[in-house]
Amino acid sequence: MDRLALAGLIIIFTLFVVAVFDGFLAGNKPIVVRWNGGLYFPVLFRYNELEGVETVNLQQGSRKGDFALYPPLSYAPNESDLLTVLSPPSISHPFGTDDRGRDVLSRMIHGTRISLSIGFIAVGIAALIGILLGGLSGFYGGKVDFIVSRLFEIMMTFPVFFLILTILAFRDPSIYNIMIVIGATGWTGIARLVRGDFLKLRNYGFVEAAIALGGSDFRIMLRHMLPNALAPVLVAATFGIAGAILVESALSFLGFGVPPPTPSWGDVLSQSKRYVDFAWWLVLFPGGAIFLTVTSFNLVGEGFRNAIDPKIR
């Protein structure tokens, strides 16, 4: 695999780690607390015993051996501090704060999980619909193919972004609805790839042989044809994730995205609209993160494509 794709893969892996361990990196809950002889993990669970305990005061440790270990960045994504509104990057706020005094880095760390899960789940939905419809269309051909092909041609004539905006204007823009809408509008590319591959594979000897051995249609599609058609789907899905993350950011930027105060990169970026002339940190950091992530997924997709394309090798 080429070096750029590898770099992309490393960045994606890092983002995954950040997304999974967001609470350990930034937040106002301690990671570990030792209090009255018991060990507690407030990042992961809620403890009634710790109700009313000022864990902040335990940070330095105490006589009884009690202590609290906080994440390196001790601000919660939605914790606002009106004394530090719109402060530029400093040691305590490495990426600065927004107009409500919320820490930008913390919001971005917690937004990673939102952005990545929207990317993956939306593409998962798109791949499922695409494989199903494309597969049926390519396998049965004839009337089924005619109907399904027209369906995705109609789908493709819509400017997808405006379609999504329109749908979200009528529906409650929760994170699940955004995933479903992006997935339900993004399956045409995958469907076309699978249809093409299935049309080709349908005439292959081993498919005929599988029919001659008495396999059912479903079994033949799933076990014999799909594994042979999966490589291009993987490539398309990787590009699709980049696209979905971008669409989500754009939606949030326009105010149609995940509802506030849920942190997402697009949401942080949208805060910058009014202060763009001086609050450069509100533009640079979330914008850079979106750019880096989308580029990484595209590089990995490119790497996959080169790996499966015999003409380039």
Partner 1 sequence: MKNILEIRNLRISFTIEKKPVEVVSDTSITIPEGKVIGVVGESGCGKTVTALSVMRLIPDPPGKITKGEIIFDGANLLELSESDMRSIRGNRISMIFQEPISSLNPVFPVGDQIGEALRTHLRVSKSEERERVIEMLKLVGIPAPEERLKNYPHELSGGMCQRVMIAMALICRPQLLIADEPTTALDVTIQAGILELINDLREKFGMSVLLITHDLGIIAEIADEVYIMYAGKVVEHSSVKGIFERSSHPYTKGLLNSIPDMRERKRALSAIPGNIPSPKDFPTACRFQNRCPYVIEECRINEPPLREIMPGHHTACFRAEEVGSGA
Judged by the rule CB under 8 A, the positions of this chain that interact with partner 1 are 142, 204-206, 208-216, 219, 224, 227-228
Least Å distance, CB 196 to partner 1, is 18
Burial class of residue 94 (count of CB atoms within 10 Å of its CB; 0-12, 13-18, 19+): middle
| Least Cβ distance, residue 214 to partner 1 (angstroms) | 4
Shorter beta-carbon distance to partner 1: residue 16 or 140: 140
Shortest CB 228 distance to partner 1, Å? 6
Q: Which amino acid is located at 179 in the chain?
A: M
Closer CB to partner 1, 44 or 209, in the complex? 209
Tell me the Ramachandran region of residue 168: left when phi exceeds 0, alpha when psi lies from -120 to 50, beta otherwise.
Answer: alpha
Between 184 and 222, CB nearer to partner 1: 222
Long-range pairs for 197-204: beta carbons < 8 A, 24 or more residues apart = 197/138, 197/225, 197/228, 197/229, 197/232, 198/134, 198/135, 198/137, 198/138, 198/139, 198/225, 198/229, 199/138, 199/141, 201/138, 201/225, 201/228, 201/229, 202/138, 202/139, 202/141
Least distance CB 198 / partner 1 (angstroms): 14
* Nearer of residues 37 and 214 to partner 1, judged by Cβ: 214
CB nearer to partner 1: give 39 or 213.
213
- Which of 219, 274 has the CB closer to partner 1? 219
* Distance of closest approach, residue 13 Cβ to partner 1, in angstroms: 27
Closer to partner 1 by CB, 52 or 214: give it: 214
Q: Give the nearest distance from C-beta 202 to partner 1 in angstroms.
A: 9
Rounded to the nearest whole angstrom, what is the least distance from the CB of residue 164 to partner 1 in the complex? 36
Q: How far, in Å, CA of 169 to CA of 156, rounded? A: 21
124/215 with CB nearer partner 1: 215
**DSSP bridge pairs for 38:** 35
How far is it, in rounded angstroms, from Cα 177 to Cα 156?
Answer: 21
DSSP-derived 3-state class of residue 32: strand
- Min separation Cβ 223 and partner 1, Å: 8
What's the CA gap between 176 and 172, in Å, rounded? Answer: 10
Cβ atoms of residues 244 and 153 within 8 Å:
no
Contact criterion met (CB below 8 Å) for 252 and 270: yes
Neighbours of 48 (CB within 10 A): 6
